[in-house]
Amino acid sequence: MSGQNGILVKVKDVEKTFRRGSEEIHVLSGLNLEVAEGEFLALMGPSGSGKTTLLNLIGGLDRPTSGSLEVSGERIDQMSGRQLAEWRARHVGFVFQFYNLLPVLTAERNVELPLLLTHLTKAQRRRHVHTALEVVGLSHRARHYPHTLSGGEQQRVGIARAIVTDPTMILADEPTGDLDRKSGDEILSLLQALNREHGKTIIMVTHDPHASARATRTVHLDKGQLSMEAPA
C-alpha cells in the first residue's frame, strides 16, 4: 500500500558463512536491508549470489552467522528452532519455485495443511481454504491432485497455501522460474493483486527483469552485499 507504513523487516549487519569441508564460503557479508510493510520487493542477482540464503534467513528457515534479523519487532535470529517453527506458521507464507505440493494430497488438502497448525475448526478451515482457492482462481480444481494440474495451476495452489493463514508476509523464491511466459505472467499478476488489493508484503527472488518490473522495488545482490537499490 503506501510508503508511510512502518518497517516490517530489518536485516542488520548479517553475515552468513557456509562450511563445506575445510572450506568456508562467505555468502552474505555485512548485509543490511529494510522492507516496509506493504512492499512488493524483488530480489535479483546472479546465480549463487545468496538470494535464496537471504530469503531463508528472513523466513526463519536458517539463522545468520552474525548480525540481527527483526520482523515486526521480533528478533527471529534469537529464537529457538521450536519458536521459529511456530513463528513461521503464523507469519510467513512460502511460495517455492517447484511448488512443493504434497503429491498424495488434493489441492484443497494441500492448501489446508498450514491451517492444521491453527486452532480453527474443521468448518472454519474449509471456509478459509475455499476463500484462498477463490483468490487464486482455482475453486474448480479443489479436488484435483497436483499431477493432474498444469505448472501454473500448481503454483497457484502453492500461493493459495501461502496466503491461507493470512501471514504477515509472503516469501517467494523464483515463483515463475519453472513456468512458461504466459503462466508466469499470470502468477505475477496474482502476486501483484495480492500486494495491491490485499496489502500483502511480498519478497520475491527472481532472475527475470520481467518479473521484477511488477515489484514496487528491486534490490540487487552481488558478492554478498546489496550492490544497488533501484525504485521500481
Partner 1 sequence: MINWLVQIFSLTLFNLRTIPERKGAAVAAAVGIAGVVAVLVGVLSIAEGFRAAMTATGADDIVIVLRSNADNEMTSILSREEARLVTNAPGIAWSAAGPLASAELFVIINLPKRSTGTDAHVPLRGVQQAARAVRGDITISQGRMFEPGRNEVIVGAGTARAFAGLDVGGTIRVGQSDWAVVGIFSGGGGAAESEIWTDAAVLQPAYHRGDSFQSVFVKLASPEKFKEFKDALTANPQLKVKAVRQADLLADQSSMLTTFIETFGFAIAGLMALGALFGALNTMYSAVAARTREIATLRALGFGASPIICSVLFESLVLALVGGAVGATAAYFAFNGFQAATINWQTFSQVAFAFRVSPRLLANAILWAAVIGLIGGLFPAIRAARLPVATALRET
Ligand X SMILES: Nc1ncnc2c1ncn2[C@@H]1O[C@H](COP(=O)(O)OP(=O)(O)OP(=O)(O)O)[C@@H](O)[C@H]1O
Pair 146, 33: CB distance under 8 Å: no
Q: Is 52 an interacting residue with respect to Mg ion (CB under 5 A)?
A: yes
Letter string b/e over residues 8-32, b meaning 16 or more CB atoms within 10 A of that residue's CB: bbbbeebebeeeeeeeeeebbbebe
Q: What SS3 state is found at 189?
A: helix
- What strand order describes the sheet that includes 23-36? 23-36, 7-20, 66-71, 74-75
Question: Which of the residues 78 through 107 are near partner 1 (CB under 8 A)?
Answer: 81-82, 85-90, 94, 96, 98, 100, 102-105
Report the residue from 53, 106, 154, 218 that binds ligand X according to the rule CB under 6 A.
53
Q: Is 56 an interacting residue with respect to Mg ion (CB under 5 A)?
A: no
Of 116 and 213, which has the nearer Cβ to partner 1? 116
Report the residue from 27, 71, 135, 187 that binds ligand X according to the rule CB under 6 A.
27
Of 19-27, 128-136, 139-147, 187-195, the window that binds ligand X (rule: CB under 6 A) is 19-27
Beta bridge partners of 40: 202
By rule CB under 5 A, what string of x and - marks binding of each residue 147-186 to Mg ion?
A: ----------------------------------------
